[in-house]
Amino acid sequence: MRILVTGGAGFIGSHVVDGYLRRGHEVAVLDNLSRGFRRNVNPDAAFYQGDILERASVEKVFAEFRPDVVNHHAAQMDVRRGVREPVFDAQVNILGSLNLLEAAVSHKTRHVIYISTAGAAYGEPEHLPVPENCPINPITPYGISKHTVEHYLYTFSYLYGLSYAVLRYGNVYGPRQNSQGEAGVFAIFCEQILAGIQPVIYGDGTKTRDYVYIDDVVEANAAALDRGQNEIFNIAGGTATADSQIFSLVCDLLGKSGLQPRYARRRPGEIQEICLDISKARQRLGWAPQVPLIEGARRTVAFFQQNLELAARAL
């Protein structure tokens, strides 16, 4: 199978590329390297440096690679930037996605796996855990733009027969995560503690997120190649975990159990709590998370420690 992964130089996308290659698929990556890194791209994947907002870049990769499947990870994914720059957020996430969908139709791509968001789309949930059919009430431009493309997918399927699967991610974490890119508290806490900086927790530490390890996310993307056609799935751990719990876990793994965070004002656009119902993914995708939080945390912290050691040796 020929699979184009947009955003394949980023944290999540690059792992998905690796997973597809391990399964024997032919893979190409389209990435503008604004947040991703060329070093993340598997050498066995074809690489196209380009922007999904540039129709010429999109047409080039579709014409040359002719993908059977598009796995669409590329996005403006910074919630805070979306609040500051809603027009830019909409341009990248909506218009860029439309460029891909139109190219997919014209080049006879058969299937799109679209990476959406869970917490940012659902807003403050009325009850937990949150199923896929709960009301969509995003409280940020980012949540709006990511959810909007789900409607376009339904329309393109109806009009042109383009099949799709939507994966609404919880908070993905693991090796290659970057606090300056697809930011998450694991990356932020690890980098700050290892650098001797007192970590900051926004709010009082009770804010919860639903974490899922990167290897489990890769498996979900593999399952979505031929299962769950024209459906939407939550991809998460199915458990709510507070910021303070993640902080304590990272500190313990780094041998800094006595360290105290600095608390700062909660940032606009951030929901207070989320926990996702993943029963649909179990039933229709045959997918379930396999890596417990403690094991995923251990692997993630080890990655950041190793990177620090390699950097020190290079000096």
The pLDDT assigned to 133 comes to: 94
CA dist., res. 120 & res. 122, Å (int): 6
Whole-number Cα distances in Å, 129 to 36, 124, 143, 237, 289: 32, 12, 18, 11, 16
- Per-residue tokens: 241: 């975990």
Per-residue pLDDT band for 108 (boundaries 50, 70, 90) equals very high
Q: What is the pLDDT of residue 270?
A: 82
The reported pLDDT for the residue numbered 180 is: 66
For 61-80, give the secondary structure using H, E and C. Answer: HHHHHCCCEEEECCCCCCHH
Mean pLDDT in residue range 186-192:
93
- The chain-wide mean pLDDT, for the chain, equals 94
Catalytic machinery residues: 142
Given this model, what pLDDT does residue 179 score? 75
- The C-alpha atoms of residue 298 and residue 114 are separated, in whole angstroms, by 29
Please tell me the total number of residues recorded for the chain in this structure: 315
Copy the structure tokens of residue 192: 């700050």
Assess whether pLDDT exceeds 80 at residue 181.
no
In the predicted model, is pLDDT for residue 315 greater than 50? no
**How do beta strands 46-49 and 69-72 pair?**
unpaired
Sequence-distant (6+) residues with CB within 8 A of 252 are: none
- What average pLDDT score do residues 86-94 get? 98
For residue 176, what are the contacts with CB-CB under 8 A and spacing of at least 6?
11, 14, 15, 40, 214, 303
CA distance 177 to 179: 7
Domains of the chain: 2-172+212-235 (3.40.50.720), 174-209+239-275+292-314 (3.90.25.10)
> pLDDT tens digits for 110-137?
999 999 998 788 888 888 999 999 989 8
Cβ atoms of 44 and 21 closer than 8 Å: yes
Tell me the pLDDT tens digit for each residue of 250-297. Answer: 999 999 998 999 999 988 778 889 999 999 999 999 999 999 999 999
20, two tokens: 């597809």
Write out pLDDT tens, residues 28-57: 999 999 999 999 999 999 999 999 999 999
**Measured between alpha carbons, how far is 287 from 227 in angstroms, rounded to an integer?**
10
Q: How does DSSP assign 231-247, residue by residue?
A: EEEEES-S-EEEHHHHH
What pLDDT was estimated at residue 183?
A: 57
Distance CA 77, CA 96 (A): 13
Residue 139 has pLDDT above 60, yes or no: yes
Asked if pLDDT for residue 8 goes beyond 90, the answer is yes
